[in-house]
Amino acid sequence: MESAPTARLHDIINSSISAAFHQKMALAFWRHPSESIIHGILGSASANETVIELETSNPGFILHPFDHIEEAGSWFIPADYHITLPLFGKIDISPGSEFYKKVNSFLDDKKRDWFISKNLPCTMSDQQGRYLELVQDGVNAINEKRFDKVICARTQHIKLKNDFSIGLFFRSLIDAYPDAFISCVSHPRFGTWIGASPEILLEIDKNNQFRTIALAGTQPVNEAKNPATAAWTQKEIQEQAMVSRFIINQFKKVRLREFVETGPQTTIAGNVMHLKTNYEVDLNEIDIEKLGTKMMRLLHPTSAVCGMPKLPAREFILREESFTRDLYSGFWGPINFHGLTSLNVNLRTMQLTKDEAIIYAGNGITHDSDPEKEWLETELKCETLLQLLS
C-alpha cells in the first residue's frame, strides 16, 4: 500500500497562502496559546462585510478592523476547507483531504505569492519626530479634558530578506511566544498579516465559560524573568486600572454582575511584561441573551487600544494618526470552531507587502506621559517581531 505524502509545516503554510492567492480565496492559520497543533482554513473571500452573531455563526474566522465599532460589520472566512497540523515532525497528508486537493499543486512551487493590501501606510522620513509630536498632541488633549487616555500608534517598515518565508516566520513566532495567539491571515481585502497577540478580546469555551482580560502597562522582562519581582510605576498602574474600569462599565451596560475578577498580575509576553486582570463568567448561570455578541460589540475597541472615553479618543486617533490602522488593534480569531470562540486583539502584528514587513505598535498616553519614553516603549514592542526578522 502506497504511503501518504509528507510535507514540512512551513511548506504547507507557504503553499496554502499561494493557493489562496491564485484561487482568490481567503486563508487563516492559527495556534492557540500553549497548544501543539495548528489549525488552517481556506474559504470564500467575500468582498463585503457582514454583521456576525457569535451564538449562531457557522464555524470560521472573523476579521474586524479597528475603526468598525458597535454593530458595524466584520469580514468572515468560512471554514470551507480545514486542516489540523501537528507542531513537530513531518506531516502525513491524506490525498483524499479536500484541503490537500486545494493546495497540492503548490507544494513543490518555489515561487510564493500572497495578497497585498491596496491600503498600505506610507514610509515617513521622520518617524520618531512625528510620533513624539503625536504623543504631545495627545497629552495636550488630555490636559484640555477632551479624554482621559488615548493610544498613539506608529509603524516601522523593514525590508524582507530575499528568502523570507511566511511559514518559517510563523513557526519562529510559535517557538518564541508559546503563550501568545499566533495567527496568519491572507485575504484579498486586507492583504497578508501575521502576529503574536498577548490579548484576548473575549473567549467562550465548549463549557460555556466566558472570559476577557484587561491588559496594560509595558516594561522589559527582568533578568530573572520573574513576574513576581516586577515593579510598576504609578502611571502604569493607573493605565491598567482604566482598562479594568472600562470592562466593568461594559458589564454594567448589560446588567452583568455575576463575574469573577482575578488580578492584576504581572504576565510575560515575549520580551515584555504587562499587567493583566482576568474576568470570567459562567454563561450557564446567567440569563442574558447573546452575551457574547453583546460584549464583542461593547468591548471593541477596548481602552487598551483606543482610550477613554472611547468615542473622543477614537476621533483623535482617526484624525491625528498618519495612517489607517485597518486590522491593527482590531480583532480576529476562530468562531464556533471545535467548540471554541476565541477573539484576539490584533497586537504585536505586521502586514506584508511584496518586499517589506510593516510592523505596528502603540502606547497608552495619559496626562503624565513623556513622549521620549513612549517612543522607546514602542521600540520595545516592535522588537517582538524585529528580532525574528533579522
Which domains, and CATH codes, for the chain?
127-157+200-324+354-389 (3.60.120.10)
Q: What is the pLDDT of residue 41?
A: 97
| pLDDT, tens digit, 9 for 90 and up, residues 363-387 | 999 999 999 999 999 999 999 899 9
Among residues of the chain, what percentage have pLDDT more than 70? 97
Average pLDDT over residues 149-155: 97
**Angle (CA) 19 11 195, round 5°:** 85
Q: Cβ-count burial of 289 within 10 angstroms (0-12 exposed, 13-18 middle, 19+ buried)?
A: exposed
Query: What is the pairing mode between strands 6-7 and 356-365?
Result: unpaired
Average pLDDT, the chain: 92
Residues facing 359 on adjacent strands: 156, 350
Contacts for 20 with CB less than 8 Å, ≥ 6 apart: 26, 27, 42, 45, 115, 186
Q: What is the pLDDT of residue 143?
A: 98
| pLDDT, tens digit, 9 for 90 and up, residues 28-41 | 999 999 899 999 99
pLDDT confidence bin for 1, thresholds 50/70/90: very low
Q: What is the pLDDT of residue 2?
A: 44
Helix (H, G, I), strand (E, B) or coil at 349: strand
Q: What is the pLDDT of residue 3?
A: 47
Residues facing 128 on adjacent strands: none
Among 62-71, 106-115, 233-242, which is the least confidently predicted range?
A: 106-115
Reference 211, options 241, 251, 242; nearest CA is 251
Q: What is the pLDDT of residue 222?
A: 74
Rg of the chain on CA atoms, in Å: 21
Average pLDDT over residues 103-126: 86
Does the pLDDT of residue 308 top 90, yes or no? yes
Average pLDDT over residues 277-286: 97
Does the pLDDT of residue 278 top 50, yes or no? yes
Does the pLDDT of residue 362 top 80, yes or no? yes
Average pLDDT over residues 200-220: 94
CA 349/CA 361 separation, integer angstroms? 8
Question: Which of residues 248 and 125 earns the better pLDDT score?
Answer: 248
Does the pLDDT of residue 110 top 90, yes or no? no
Average pLDDT over residues 179-184: 97
What's at 131, amino acid-wise? Y
CA 345/CA 221 separation, integer angstroms? 21
Average pLDDT over residues 331-340: 97
Q: What is the pLDDT of residue 69?
A: 82
Element (H, E) at 102: helix 98-103
Among residues of the chain, what percentage have pLDDT more than 90? 76
Average pLDDT over residues 94-108: 81
Does the pLDDT of residue 5 top 60, yes or no? no
Does the pLDDT of residue 4 top 90, yes or no? no
